Amino acid sequence: MCDDLTAFDEEQTLADKGLTRRTFAGLSAAGLLGACTTMPADGTAPALKETAVTVPTGDGSADAFFIHPAKGRHPAVIMWPDVAGLREAYRQMATRLAAAGYAVLVVNHYYRHAKAPLIATMSEWRTPAGQDKLKPAIATLSPANTVKDATAFVAWLDKQGAVDKRRKIGTQGYCQTGSFAVRIAAALPGRVGVAASFHGGGLVTPAADSPHQLFAKSKAAFLIAIGKNDDARAPTDKDALRAAASAAGKTAEIEVYNADHGWCTLDAPSYDKAEADRAWGRLLSFYKEL
Protein backbone atom coordinates (compact mmCIF):
# COMPACT_ATOMS: atom_id res chain seq x y z
CA MET A 1 0.00 0.00 0.00
CA CYS A 2 1.21 3.51 -0.74
CA ASP A 3 1.50 4.58 2.88
CA ASP A 4 3.96 1.75 3.46
CA LEU A 5 5.99 2.85 0.45
CA THR A 6 6.46 6.35 1.82
CA ALA A 7 9.37 5.04 3.86
CA PHE A 8 11.25 3.68 0.82
CA ASP A 9 14.92 3.98 1.71
CA GLU A 10 14.13 6.92 4.01
CA GLU A 11 17.31 6.64 6.02
CA GLN A 12 19.40 6.51 2.84
CA THR A 13 17.51 9.43 1.33
CA LEU A 14 18.23 11.55 4.36
CA ALA A 15 21.84 10.42 4.49
CA ASP A 16 22.29 11.48 0.87
CA LYS A 17 21.21 14.98 1.95
CA GLY A 18 23.53 14.98 4.96
CA LEU A 19 20.61 14.76 7.39
CA THR A 20 19.31 12.44 10.07
CA ARG A 21 15.61 11.92 10.72
CA ARG A 22 15.87 14.17 13.78
CA THR A 23 17.57 17.05 11.97
CA PHE A 24 15.17 16.75 9.04
CA ALA A 25 12.18 16.90 11.40
CA GLY A 26 13.66 20.03 12.91
CA LEU A 27 13.98 21.68 9.54
CA SER A 28 10.41 20.80 8.65
CA ALA A 29 9.06 22.07 11.95
CA ALA A 30 10.93 25.33 11.50
CA GLY A 31 9.23 25.83 8.14
CA LEU A 32 12.51 26.15 6.25
CA LEU A 33 11.32 23.83 3.51
CA GLY A 34 8.38 26.15 2.93
CA ALA A 35 10.70 28.45 1.02
CA CYS A 36 10.39 25.96 -1.82
CA THR A 37 6.84 27.15 -2.55
CA THR A 38 8.08 29.95 -4.77
CA MET A 39 5.75 32.66 -6.02
CA PRO A 40 6.16 34.44 -9.36
CA ALA A 41 9.33 36.55 -9.34
CA ASP A 42 7.73 39.42 -11.25
CA GLY A 43 5.38 40.33 -8.40
CA THR A 44 2.25 39.30 -10.29
CA ALA A 45 0.94 36.96 -7.61
CA PRO A 46 -2.56 38.12 -6.64
CA ALA A 47 -3.74 38.93 -3.14
CA LEU A 48 -5.15 35.76 -1.64
CA LYS A 49 -7.95 34.97 0.78
CA GLU A 50 -7.64 31.90 2.99
CA THR A 51 -10.21 30.36 5.32
CA ALA A 52 -10.52 27.33 7.56
CA VAL A 53 -13.83 25.82 6.46
CA THR A 54 -16.16 22.97 7.32
CA VAL A 55 -17.85 21.05 4.52
CA PRO A 56 -20.98 18.98 5.26
CA THR A 57 -20.83 15.43 3.97
CA GLY A 58 -23.05 12.39 4.20
CA ASP A 59 -21.06 11.24 7.23
CA GLY A 60 -20.61 14.45 9.17
CA SER A 61 -18.49 17.54 8.53
CA ALA A 62 -15.05 17.62 6.93
CA ASP A 63 -12.58 20.28 7.99
CA ALA A 64 -10.60 21.81 5.14
CA PHE A 65 -8.44 24.75 4.06
CA PHE A 66 -9.81 26.99 1.31
CA ILE A 67 -7.62 29.55 -0.45
CA HIS A 68 -8.17 31.57 -3.61
CA PRO A 69 -7.43 34.94 -5.22
CA ALA A 70 -9.22 37.65 -3.28
CA LYS A 71 -10.95 38.97 -6.39
CA GLY A 72 -12.85 37.28 -9.20
CA ARG A 73 -14.06 33.77 -9.92
CA HIS A 74 -11.65 30.95 -10.63
CA PRO A 75 -11.58 27.27 -11.55
CA ALA A 76 -11.72 25.08 -8.46
CA VAL A 77 -9.24 22.42 -7.42
CA ILE A 78 -9.62 19.72 -4.79
CA MET A 79 -6.25 18.82 -3.27
CA TRP A 80 -5.99 15.50 -1.42
CA PRO A 81 -2.97 15.30 0.94
CA ASP A 82 -0.76 12.25 1.26
CA VAL A 83 -0.86 9.62 4.01
CA ALA A 84 0.18 12.10 6.70
CA GLY A 85 -2.93 14.21 6.07
CA LEU A 86 -3.74 17.92 5.95
CA ARG A 87 -0.91 19.93 7.51
CA GLU A 88 1.29 22.96 6.92
CA ALA A 89 3.13 21.49 3.93
CA TYR A 90 -0.14 21.17 2.01
CA ARG A 91 -1.31 24.62 3.05
CA GLN A 92 1.85 25.98 1.47
CA MET A 93 1.35 23.92 -1.68
CA ALA A 94 -2.26 25.14 -1.92
CA THR A 95 -1.11 28.73 -1.48
CA ARG A 96 1.23 28.38 -4.42
CA LEU A 97 -1.56 26.98 -6.57
CA ALA A 98 -4.01 29.69 -5.52
CA ALA A 99 -1.43 32.31 -6.50
CA ALA A 100 -1.53 30.80 -9.99
CA GLY A 101 -5.25 31.61 -10.19
CA TYR A 102 -7.17 28.71 -8.66
CA ALA A 103 -9.69 28.31 -5.84
CA VAL A 104 -8.13 25.46 -3.87
CA LEU A 105 -9.82 23.27 -1.29
CA VAL A 106 -7.35 21.12 0.67
CA VAL A 107 -9.35 18.49 2.49
CA ASN A 108 -8.89 16.44 5.62
CA HIS A 109 -9.76 13.03 4.22
CA TYR A 110 -9.47 11.61 7.76
CA TYR A 111 -12.27 13.78 9.17
CA ARG A 112 -14.29 10.70 10.19
CA HIS A 113 -11.56 9.96 12.71
CA ALA A 114 -10.21 13.36 13.80
CA LYS A 115 -9.70 16.96 12.77
CA ALA A 116 -6.47 17.97 11.06
CA PRO A 117 -3.61 17.98 11.64
CA LEU A 118 -3.22 14.47 12.95
CA ILE A 119 0.54 14.86 12.70
CA ALA A 120 2.65 17.90 11.87
CA THR A 121 5.12 16.54 9.31
CA MET A 122 5.74 13.52 7.14
CA SER A 123 8.71 12.44 9.27
CA GLU A 124 6.33 11.73 12.16
CA TRP A 125 4.60 9.03 10.10
CA ARG A 126 7.47 6.64 10.70
CA THR A 127 7.47 7.11 14.49
CA PRO A 128 5.45 4.80 16.77
CA ALA A 129 3.34 7.77 17.90
CA GLY A 130 2.67 8.76 14.31
CA GLN A 131 1.66 5.23 13.41
CA ASP A 132 -0.72 5.11 16.36
CA LYS A 133 -2.38 8.33 15.22
CA LEU A 134 -2.68 7.53 11.53
CA LYS A 135 -3.50 3.83 11.31
CA PRO A 136 -7.04 4.15 12.72
CA ALA A 137 -7.58 7.16 10.46
CA ILE A 138 -6.46 5.21 7.40
CA ALA A 139 -8.96 2.49 8.33
CA THR A 140 -11.81 4.95 7.69
CA LEU A 141 -10.93 5.26 3.99
CA SER A 142 -12.73 3.39 1.23
CA PRO A 143 -13.57 3.99 -2.44
CA ALA A 144 -17.22 4.54 -1.53
CA ASN A 145 -16.32 7.12 1.11
CA THR A 146 -13.98 8.88 -1.31
CA VAL A 147 -16.72 9.27 -3.89
CA LYS A 148 -19.26 10.38 -1.26
CA ASP A 149 -16.87 12.99 0.07
CA ALA A 150 -15.83 14.24 -3.36
CA THR A 151 -19.46 14.73 -4.32
CA ALA A 152 -19.94 16.84 -1.20
CA PHE A 153 -16.76 18.83 -1.84
CA VAL A 154 -17.77 19.64 -5.40
CA ALA A 155 -21.27 20.68 -4.31
CA TRP A 156 -19.74 22.97 -1.67
CA LEU A 157 -17.26 24.50 -4.11
CA ASP A 158 -20.00 25.20 -6.63
CA LYS A 159 -21.71 27.41 -4.03
CA GLN A 160 -18.67 29.58 -3.39
CA GLY A 161 -18.45 33.05 -4.89
CA ALA A 162 -14.77 32.57 -5.70
CA VAL A 163 -15.48 29.57 -7.93
CA ASP A 164 -16.26 29.82 -11.63
CA LYS A 165 -18.84 27.06 -12.10
CA ARG A 166 -18.66 27.43 -15.87
CA ARG A 167 -15.23 25.83 -15.81
CA LYS A 168 -14.35 22.25 -14.92
CA ILE A 169 -12.76 21.26 -11.62
CA GLY A 170 -9.25 19.91 -11.19
CA THR A 171 -8.31 17.34 -8.58
CA GLN A 172 -4.90 16.17 -7.44
CA GLY A 173 -3.75 13.50 -5.01
CA TYR A 174 -0.47 12.41 -3.51
CA CYS A 175 0.69 8.99 -2.32
CA GLN A 176 -2.42 7.01 -1.29
CA THR A 177 -4.73 9.76 -2.60
CA GLY A 178 -3.34 9.68 -6.13
CA SER A 179 -5.92 7.00 -6.79
CA PHE A 180 -8.63 9.23 -5.27
CA ALA A 181 -8.14 11.79 -8.05
CA VAL A 182 -8.68 9.17 -10.75
CA ARG A 183 -11.63 7.64 -8.96
CA ILE A 184 -13.58 10.88 -8.57
CA ALA A 185 -12.90 11.87 -12.17
CA ALA A 186 -14.83 8.76 -13.09
CA ALA A 187 -17.55 9.32 -10.49
CA LEU A 188 -18.12 12.99 -11.41
CA PRO A 189 -17.49 13.21 -15.15
CA GLY A 190 -19.66 16.28 -15.55
CA ARG A 191 -17.46 18.41 -13.29
CA VAL A 192 -13.93 17.01 -13.16
CA GLY A 193 -11.79 18.10 -16.11
CA VAL A 194 -8.29 17.15 -14.93
CA ALA A 195 -7.12 14.47 -12.50
CA ALA A 196 -3.50 14.40 -11.36
CA SER A 197 -1.69 11.74 -9.35
CA PHE A 198 1.75 12.39 -7.86
CA HIS A 199 3.67 9.33 -6.65
CA GLY A 200 0.26 7.71 -6.28
CA GLY A 201 -0.37 4.20 -5.01
CA GLY A 202 -3.13 1.74 -5.80
CA LEU A 203 -3.65 2.93 -9.36
CA VAL A 204 -3.34 -0.55 -10.84
CA THR A 205 -4.88 -3.43 -8.90
CA PRO A 206 -6.61 -6.72 -9.80
CA ALA A 207 -9.96 -5.34 -8.62
CA ALA A 208 -12.71 -4.72 -11.13
CA ASP A 209 -12.92 -1.12 -9.92
CA SER A 210 -9.18 -0.51 -10.04
CA PRO A 211 -8.60 3.17 -10.89
CA HIS A 212 -6.94 2.32 -14.19
CA GLN A 213 -10.13 0.54 -15.24
CA LEU A 214 -12.17 3.70 -14.66
CA PHE A 215 -10.69 5.98 -17.33
CA ALA A 216 -13.54 5.28 -19.73
CA LYS A 217 -16.11 6.57 -17.22
CA SER A 218 -14.49 10.00 -17.02
CA LYS A 219 -14.28 13.04 -19.27
CA ALA A 220 -11.02 14.21 -17.74
CA ALA A 221 -7.42 14.49 -18.86
CA PHE A 222 -4.94 12.66 -16.65
CA LEU A 223 -1.49 13.55 -15.36
CA ILE A 224 0.16 10.60 -13.63
CA ALA A 225 3.64 11.25 -12.25
CA ILE A 226 5.39 8.11 -10.99
CA GLY A 227 8.38 7.88 -8.65
CA LYS A 228 11.40 5.99 -9.94
CA ASN A 229 11.43 3.59 -7.00
CA ASP A 230 7.68 3.03 -7.31
CA ASP A 231 8.33 2.12 -10.93
CA ALA A 232 11.16 -0.22 -9.96
CA ARG A 233 8.82 -2.15 -7.67
CA ALA A 234 5.90 -2.24 -10.12
CA PRO A 235 7.44 -1.76 -13.58
CA THR A 236 4.36 -2.86 -15.50
CA ASP A 237 1.97 -0.38 -13.87
CA LYS A 238 2.88 2.45 -16.24
CA ASP A 239 2.21 0.19 -19.20
CA ALA A 240 -1.16 -0.86 -17.82
CA LEU A 241 -2.09 2.77 -17.21
CA ARG A 242 -1.06 3.82 -20.72
CA ALA A 243 -2.92 0.93 -22.29
CA ALA A 244 -6.08 1.65 -20.30
CA ALA A 245 -6.00 5.36 -21.13
CA SER A 246 -5.43 4.62 -24.80
CA ALA A 247 -8.27 2.10 -24.89
CA ALA A 248 -10.56 4.67 -23.28
CA GLY A 249 -9.45 7.38 -25.70
CA LYS A 250 -8.30 9.70 -22.90
CA THR A 251 -5.57 12.30 -22.85
CA ALA A 252 -3.05 10.97 -20.35
CA GLU A 253 0.53 11.92 -19.57
CA ILE A 254 2.08 9.03 -17.67
CA GLU A 255 5.73 9.55 -16.80
CA VAL A 256 8.34 8.14 -14.45
CA TYR A 257 10.21 11.01 -12.78
CA ASN A 258 13.84 10.90 -11.73
CA ALA A 259 12.96 11.11 -8.04
CA ASP A 260 11.72 8.80 -5.33
CA HIS A 261 8.27 8.27 -3.87
CA GLY A 262 7.10 11.41 -2.08
CA TRP A 263 9.26 13.82 -4.08
CA CYS A 264 6.49 16.40 -4.61
CA THR A 265 5.63 16.89 -0.93
CA LEU A 266 7.53 19.69 0.80
CA ASP A 267 8.13 17.98 4.13
CA ALA A 268 8.93 14.51 2.76
CA PRO A 269 12.51 13.21 3.19
CA SER A 270 12.52 12.47 -0.54
CA TYR A 271 11.43 15.96 -1.60
CA ASP A 272 13.24 16.89 -4.82
CA LYS A 273 12.80 20.54 -5.77
CA ALA A 274 13.89 20.23 -9.40
CA GLU A 275 11.60 17.30 -10.20
CA ALA A 276 8.79 18.70 -8.04
CA ASP A 277 8.94 21.97 -9.96
CA ARG A 278 8.89 20.07 -13.23
CA ALA A 279 5.79 18.14 -12.14
CA TRP A 280 4.24 21.41 -10.96
CA GLY A 281 4.78 22.95 -14.36
CA ARG A 282 3.06 20.04 -16.05
CA LEU A 283 0.15 20.36 -13.61
CA LEU A 284 -0.35 24.02 -14.47
CA SER A 285 -0.21 23.18 -18.16
CA PHE A 286 -3.06 20.71 -17.71
CA TYR A 287 -5.07 23.09 -15.51
CA LYS A 288 -4.99 25.78 -18.19
CA GLU A 289 -7.53 23.62 -20.02
CA LEU A 290 -10.09 23.64 -17.19
| Tens-place pLDDT, residues 169-181 | 999 999 999 999 9
Residue 43 — very low, low, confident or very high, per pLDDT cuts 50/70/90? low
- Backbone φ and ψ for 279, nearest 5 degrees, come out as -65, -40
Element (H, E) at 57: strand 48-57
Kindly report the pTM of this predicted structure: 0.88
Burial 142-165 (b: 16+ CB within 10 A, else e): ebebbbebbbbbbebbeebebbee
pLDDT at 29: 42
**Each residue of 13-38: pLDDT tens digit?**
444 444 344 433 444 444 434 434 34
E-strand stretches of 70-216: 76-80, 103-107, 169-174, 192-198
Question: Any bridge partners for residue 195, and if so which?
Answer: 171, 222
The share of the chain scoring above pLDDT 90, in percent, equals 79
